Amino acid sequence: MSINTSGFGTYDIRGKYPESINQELAYRVGRVFPELFNAKKVAIGHDIRLSSPTISDALARGLTEAGCDVFDLGQCGTEMIYFATGFKELDGGIMITASHNPQEYNGMKFVKKEVRPISSIDGLFDIKKAVEDESRDWSHKKATGTIFKIDIMPDYIKRLLSYVDVKNLKPFKVVINTGNGSAGPIINELEKFLPFEIIKIHNDTNGFFPNGVPNPLLHDSRAETSEAVIKNNAVCGIAFDGDFDRCFLFDEEGKFIEGSYMVGLLAEVFLEKNPGATIICEPRSYWNTADIVESLGGKYVLSRSGHPFMKAVLRQENGIYGGELASHHYFRDFYYCDSGMIPWLMILELLSHNNKKLSEMMAERLETHPVSGEINTKVSSLDKIQEIMDKIENIYGKDGNKLYKIDGLCIEFDKWRFSLRGSQTEPYIRLNVETRGDKKLMETKRDELLAIIRS
């Protein structure tokens, strides 16, 4: 039988269940993964989606029939697969999740030995080609590998807590919205070791997503967390996406904090503990982070956004931390991988020894480095994206101090800069504008650029 591989994307497999993500696909992935990546031991786990357990069973069957031992974490978050693969020195890891996609979706994320990511530039399309190969014998075989059910939680929690000095944390009141996703059990476990009073929202895992898909990047998903922070007089709010590889921050006034400012806050924490360390950031919006890093004697390096690129640069530069606008945060001592749990712990440690409220810290950064946030414009086709980029480059390129194309088009001037990049999968063009201490200039240039893009 032919198989639907339309869910293979740039960084993972993701699609609707059962049309494109199903047991047959998972089984075939399991059969070919050990061969492609020379894997003898592989960690697997799944999120809380209703289809995830049966997909996980099919994946495990394929892996064991290929002679691979499976270390099954059961229900978990994506970063727990990363941690298990590194901590147990396994040959790979596969997480069954569709992250923040709607309920009817599912998918898979992959790492190989040393927890190195598998994406379209490094192995993902090899998996696609292999599972499409109808000349292979896909009939079931006798399993020669073994399935081990493992509990990674104690070691995982210990690693998370190693990022903060627990005895110096203040007994803050904190709002945490896990959105009925996979983060709930982790919050319950961490709570045992922390002095915080945690006000939990939608903390029970529920694959029906009765309160909406957990995706705090959507404005409509933020109100509940924001209101709870104000109502409970909490020091901050934290919200997670479905597989909690990203976390999102709200100050004590319930205001959402843009991802680029969160990168700056985390860079500050790291550099206070590790003078001279290297921080990785992306060119969409980085002046605030660069200012903080340089003022504290650190070094910053720009990387193309996207987890394969950020992780590669983090390794190459021996960076201690890297962060993106989309709220992915990468940590050297977490196997160069992203975690949604480490960031909020570190921010609360910063608040514990800083006499300022989170809103006061943010007010300073908003004044010194105003940003537009990422503004998406839909265009008629993917081809149109390059046409617009060329037009903008012709208009602004000759007058800029610096023009570079690490990730899309970036042009910098004395007081302002912008980044323009296209989506790889959808007809959208994305604009970010930032200035040095001039909100009015940021708004003027933002509107000026949008008028050209949308003309």
Residue ending a domain, choose from 217, 250, 283:
250
Q: What are phi and psi of 172, to 5 degrees?
A: -70, 155
Kindly report, residue by residue over 382-417, the tens digit of the pLDDT.
Answer: 889 999 999 999 999 999 999 999 999 999 999 999
Cα separation, 107 vs 242, in Å, equals 12
Q: Which two tokens stand for residue 23?
A: 């047991």
> 197 is in which domain, residue-wise?
155-164+171-250
Residue 77: is its pLDDT beyond 90? yes
- Interval 429-438 mean pLDDT: 98
Q: Is residue 6 included in any domain, yes or no?
A: no
Q: Is residue 347 included in any domain, yes or no?
A: no
Q: What is the pLDDT, as a whole number, of residue 208?
A: 95
Residue ending a domain, choose from 338, 364, 395:
338
The answer on 37 and 131 residing in a single domain is yes
Task: Please answer whether residues 96 and 107 qualify as being in contact, where contact means their C-beta atoms are separated by less than 8 angstroms.
Answer: yes
- Interval 67-92 mean pLDDT: 98
Q: Is residue 193 included in any domain, yes or no?
A: yes
Burial class (CB in 10 A: 0-12, 13-18, 19+), 93: buried
Cα separation, 120 vs 104, in Å, equals 24
- Interval 245-261 mean pLDDT: 96
The answer on 147 and 17 residing in a single domain is yes
The answer on 188 and 80 residing in a single domain is no
Catalytic, out of 56, 99, 119, 339: 99
Q: Is residue 102 included in any domain, yes or no?
A: yes
**Single-letter amino acid, residue 363:** A
The answer on 278 and 232 residing in a single domain is no
Q: What is the pLDDT, as a whole number, of residue 1?
A: 54
CATH code of residue 33: 3.40.120.10
Cis amide linkage into residue 18, ω under 30° from 0:
yes
Task: Please answer whether residues 58 and 94 qualify as being in contact, where contact means their C-beta atoms are separated by less than 8 angstroms.
Answer: no
Q: Is residue 320 included in any domain, yes or no?
A: yes
**Single-letter amino acid, residue 422:** G
The answer on 147 and 66 residing in a single domain is yes
The answer on 287 and 216 residing in a single domain is no
The answer on 287 and 160 residing in a single domain is no
Query: With bands split at pLDDT 50, 70 and 90, how would you rate the model's confidence at 423?
Result: confident
Q: Is residue 8 included in any domain, yes or no?
A: no
Q: How many domains does the chain have?
A: 4
Counting residues of the chain whose pLDDT is more than 90, the rounded percentage is 94
The answer on 23 and 132 residing in a single domain is yes
The answer on 287 and 237 residing in a single domain is no
| Range name among 53-67, 156-170, 337-351, 412-426 with the lowest pLDDT average | 412-426
The answer on 159 and 141 residing in a single domain is no
The answer on 95 and 21 residing in a single domain is yes
CATH code of residue 399: 3.30.310.50
Residue 379: is its pLDDT beyond 70? yes
- Interval 420-440 mean pLDDT: 93
Q: Is residue 358 included in any domain, yes or no?
A: no
Q: Is residue 430 included in any domain, yes or no?
A: yes
The answer on 270 and 234 residing in a single domain is no
99 a catalytic residue: yes
- Torsion, Cα of 359, 361, 367, 370 (10° steps): -80
Q: What is the pLDDT, as a whole number, of residue 302?
A: 98
Cα separation, 320 vs 345, in Å, equals 16
